Amino acid sequence: MSSKMPEIDPEQEKQDILKAYKKLLRSTKRNEAKGDLKLIRKAFDVALDAHKDMRRKSGEPYIYHPIAVAEIVTSEIGLGAKSIVCALLHDTVEDTDLTVEDMSRMFGDKVAQIIDGLTKLSTVLDIQEDKSLQAENFRKMLLTMSSDIRVILIKLADRLHNMRTLGSMRRDKQLKIASETMFIYAPLAHRLGLYAIKTELEDLSFKYIEPDLYDLIVNKLRDSARQRTRFINKFSFPIINSLNDAGIDYEIKGRTKSVYSIARKMKAQGVPFEEVYDIFAIRLILNCEMENEKSNTWKAYSIVTDHYVPNPGRFRDWVSKPKSNGYESLHTTVMSDSGKWVEVQIRTRRMDDVAEKGLAAHWKYKDANKGDGQPTPTENGFESWLNQIRDLLESPDPNAIDFIDDFKLNLFAEEIFVFTPTGEVRTLPANATSLDFAFEIHTEVGMRCIGAKVNGKLNPLSHNLKSGDQVEVLTSNKQKPKEDWLAFVVTAKAKSKIKQALKEENRKIAMDGKEILERKLKQMKITIDNDLTNNLHKHFKVKTSQDLFIQIAKKTIEFRDIKEFIESSRNASKWYNLLKNRITGTESRQNSALTEKPSRPRPKDKGDTVVIGDANQQMDYVMAKCCSPIPGDDVFGFVTIGEGIKIHRTNCPNAIHIRSNYAYRVVPAAWANKEEHTSFGASILITGIDDMGLVNSITTVISKDLNVNMKSISFESNDGVFEGHIKVLVQGIHHLNNLIDNLKKVDGIKKIVREDEKES
């Protein structure tokens, strides 16, 4: 090992580092504001000091790495001062004594926030070293956790430099890092339109994963380079002439496919290197004003196809409709003179820049075109560019099929990534709460959860989590799942577990309630059965018997009310038993509200008829309100649920309905006496010709009858027609008829009828 280490000359090293830094400053190219340059210098000084005792695996001072990352960030991705600062500092919080707070104090909140994001990503990777975090999750996490897209871009630059310097790592490390790069970072660079970086990442990964095939292809490419140049020159010759004639300013070059994509073709088609037909493409780059871009690319296309026959199936127009990641170009494949298909890519200088550097370059052109000729993007404009990328990531263009396959990004906006106290990552849906997290950890943890510390701060169970939160669940053995938990959990797991627990809990309570009911009914000598519970839950308007028992256990239904219901039903049920005996062969559809001990045998003659006013009558009965029968009226009884027997007049307006639908519930009824000492209410309607003295005459007639009690009286007069409603208390039908006869004698009265109320 030590033999590999070069002699270290501290003074020389210092000079070399400064040289690297100066080179970085030169490649920023943009005219950074003075303040920005100062900030970059400060970041360099802080990073240099923080990493001063550290060396990379290669033995060189660590600071070369952040400088190189910063250089990639500015010259290969096209980011500005703030990103350079972050790149220089990107490993300080993770690897040195500096903290995020230090960053915030020295460089402001934005820089601190970006560095924090970068540090967190590294931490996650380290933790997952053994378990190897699922790549799909990692990609999503990368995007979700980075509130600022610069985190991703700097991370890509970091990875690119690590890949460029992978040679000094151990073989197993090389393989792990290379696979990760191939799986995660290259597709990400592709997504962001960073083609140059994507290609380099792929080639570097491939170099470590399959060194033999990599070397073979590199050698073959080198060996065939001269032959290729000759071919390209010959192919280009007629095109060049025509382009010159058309006055188009251009650059023409042959571009070989990347080593990795050649390897992929060889494998996919099972052919040797020599038989991969599109190893290279001709690229025609046009220098022109933005407003002429479209016409010039099409003009060039027309020139190319004037000389060579195009393959219509292999034509792609990304000029009229750019790819979702911003890629613009015309691709056509034409037949060369030597009988080989050749792909020709036609694009402007701007399109080429965008293709190589991604949207950062795209923005640069957009800004320059706006007028003041200054290519420096404003901070404001930069934000809008960042938003553009964010939009791109969040809503992938459905046409970008080449990408969607390996990157299901539409998912990530709906997911968050949260850390356990030991740093494990858990994926949860957006809007997930601490309680969801608790259930995610373990069902028992969820059940006993009383609160959670989020980033060290105590919060209620319903607290909404964000990506990057670290959550510590607090539990208590006394805790039980609550009904209101369902209102704020979002994961299916938490929901179903809570429901299940509540169900179990309710089942226990219901069992208690049932026991209470059984015990109390036993005292009434009643055994509980389905009919009774059904009737009870209907009566108390609860959905199920279980709800009934729960309410009994919780005393929201009191036993007093149950008792009352049962007693009134019991009266009716006596009659049902009688009815059952009476209507032979017809099973009563109406169940008794409760099952009784066999009822005492009753004398048949008496049992058949309700005798109203008979002191020995055992049934409860009431006069129906709809027709208010009075003694002497022709009546029948109707067995009701819970209200005993109702006595209706035979000519009651409801009688037909009752008799036709519930004949089996109708029982005969009779008056014990034609007249009673008690009074019954009756209503009469009087119509006649309005006369000054009419009301007076009517009241005189009524009050003359000593036994009649007038309960209410109301008169209405309309265009000379008089209408009076009178309620009286009478002893029976003869009494009432007497009164009506007397009233009929009054002058002006045309008609008197007994009134019925319409509703029963």
Please pick, among 95, 643, 691, 723, the residue that the annotation labels catalytic.
Answer: 95
Label residue 648 left, alpha or beta by phi (over 0 means left) and psi (-120 to 50 means alpha): beta
Q: Closest approach of Cβ 54 to Mn ion, in Å?
A: 11
Q: Closest approach of Cβ 201 to Mn ion, in Å?
A: 15
CA separation, residue 103 to residues 45, 69, 97, 112, 154 (Å): 13, 18, 11, 5, 17
Strands 249-256 and 330-335 turn out to be unpaired
Is 695 in a helix, a strand, or coil?
helix
Among 156-164, 295-303, 402-410, 718-726, the segment contacting Mn ion (CB under 5 A): 156-164
Q: Closest approach of Cβ 486 to Mn ion, in Å?
A: 46
Residue corresponding to tokens 């009858």: 705
Instruction: List, as one string, the DSSP characters of 495-510.
Output: HHHHHHHHHHHHHHHH
Residue corresponding to tokens 């919780």: 554
> For residues 153 and 572, which CB has a smaller minimum distance to Mn ion in the complex?
153
Please pick, among 94, 210, 614, 691, the residue that the annotation labels catalytic.
Answer: 94
Is 669 in a helix, a strand, or coil?
strand
Q: Is 723 exposed, middle or buried (0-12, 13-18, 19+ CB in 10 A)?
A: middle
Contact between 621 and 571 (Cβ < 8 Å): no
Alpha-carbon gap, residue 84 to 94, rounded angstroms:
18
Alpha-carbon gap, residue 646 to 576, rounded angstroms:
14
> For residues 158 and 293, which CB has a smaller minimum distance to Mn ion in the complex?
158
Contact between 513 and 550 (Cβ < 8 Å): yes
Q: Which of residues 598-617 bind Mn ion (CB under 5 A)?
A: none
Alpha-carbon gap, residue 421 to 472, rounded angstroms:
6
Q: Closest approach of Cβ 75 to Mn ion, in Å?
A: 17
Q: Is 183 exposed, middle or buried (0-12, 13-18, 19+ CB in 10 A)?
A: middle
Q: Closest approach of Cβ 114 to Mn ion, in Å?
A: 14
Among 86-94, 324-332, 365-373, 687-695, the segment contacting Mn ion (CB under 5 A): 86-94
Among 152-160, 362-370, 499-507, 571-579, the segment contacting Mn ion (CB under 5 A): 152-160
Task: Specify the length of the chain in residues.
Answer: 760
Among 84-92, 299-307, 382-390, 461-469, the segment contacting Mn ion (CB under 5 A): 84-92
Contact between 287 and 349 (Cβ < 8 Å): yes
> For residues 91 and 436, which CB has a smaller minimum distance to Mn ion in the complex?
91
Q: Which two tokens stand for residue 478?
A: 């006394």
Residue corresponding to tokens 């809008």: 384
Q: Is 91 in the site for Mn ion (CB under 5 A)?
A: yes
Helices 293-307, 225-246: crossing angle, 10 deg rounding: 120
Q: Closest approach of Cβ 126 to Mn ion, in Å?
A: 12
Q: Is 158 in the site for Mn ion (CB under 5 A)?
A: yes
Q: Is 353 in the site for Mn ion (CB under 5 A)?
A: no
Contact between 718 and 724 (Cβ < 8 Å): no
x/- string (CB under 5 A) for Mn ion, residues 625-664?
----------------------------------------
Query: How many CA atoms lie within 13 Å of 79's alpha carbon, on the beta-carbon side?
Result: 25
Q: Closest approach of Cβ 173 to Mn ion, in Å?
A: 14
Query: How many CA atoms lie within 13 Å of 284's alpha carbon, on the beta-carbon side?
Result: 28
Q: Is 71 in the site for Mn ion (CB under 5 A)?
A: no
> For residues 150 and 514, which CB has a smaller minimum distance to Mn ion in the complex?
150
Is-catalytic flag, 567? no
> For residues 145 and 542, which CB has a smaller minimum distance to Mn ion in the complex?
145
Q: Closest approach of Cβ 155 to Mn ion, in Å?
A: 9
| Residue 230 backbone dihedrals phi, psi, to 5 degrees | -60, -45
> For residues 162 and 640, which CB has a smaller minimum distance to Mn ion in the complex?
162
Among 87-95, 197-205, 439-447, 465-473, the segment contacting Mn ion (CB under 5 A): 87-95
The residue with its CB nearest to Mn ion is 158
Residue corresponding to tokens 């029948």: 636
> For residues 51 and 140, which CB has a smaller minimum distance to Mn ion in the complex?
51
x/- string (CB under 5 A) for Mn ion, residues 517-546?
------------------------------
Structural element, H or E, at residue 752: strand 749-755
CA separation, residue 206 to residues 153, 196, 215, 270, 357 (Å): 22, 15, 10, 18, 22
Q: Which two tokens stand for residue 626?
A: 């709809």
Q: Closest approach of Cβ 139 to Mn ion, in Å?
A: 19
Q: Closest approach of Cβ 67 to Mn ion, in Å?
A: 11
Q: Is 180 in the site for Mn ion (CB under 5 A)?
A: no
CB within 8 Å of 326: residues ≥ 6 apart: 193, 354, 358, 359, 362, 392
> For residues 77 and 562, which CB has a smaller minimum distance to Mn ion in the complex?
77
The residue count for binding Mn ion (CB under 5 A) is: 2
Contact between 603 and 609 (Cβ < 8 Å): no
Among 90-98, 495-503, 583-591, 623-631, the segment contacting Mn ion (CB under 5 A): 90-98
Among 1-9, 91-99, 420-428, 616-624, the segment contacting Mn ion (CB under 5 A): 91-99
Alpha-carbon gap, residue 206 to 204, rounded angstroms:
5
Strands 280-287 and 341-348 turn out to be parallel
Among 83-91, 210-218, 357-365, 400-408, the segment contacting Mn ion (CB under 5 A): 83-91
Is-catalytic flag, 95? yes
Alpha-carbon gap, residue 367 to 290, rounded angstroms:
12
Alpha-carbon gap, residue 176 to 308, rounded angstroms:
46
Q: Closest approach of Cβ 89 to Mn ion, in Å?
A: 10
Helices and strands (DSSP H and E) totals, the chain: 30, 19
Give bridge partners of residue 187 from the DSSP assignment: none
Q: Closest approach of Cβ 90 to Mn ion, in Å?
A: 6
Among 89-97, 311-319, 521-529, 677-685, the segment contacting Mn ion (CB under 5 A): 89-97
Alpha-carbon gap, residue 747 to 745, rounded angstroms:
6
> For residues 158 and 328, which CB has a smaller minimum distance to Mn ion in the complex?
158
Q: Closest approach of Cβ 86 to Mn ion, in Å?
A: 11
> For residues 178 and 566, which CB has a smaller minimum distance to Mn ion in the complex?
178
Q: Which two tokens stand for residue 376?
A: 């420096």
Residues with active-site annotation: 94-95
Residues that bind Mn ion (CB under 5 A): 91, 158
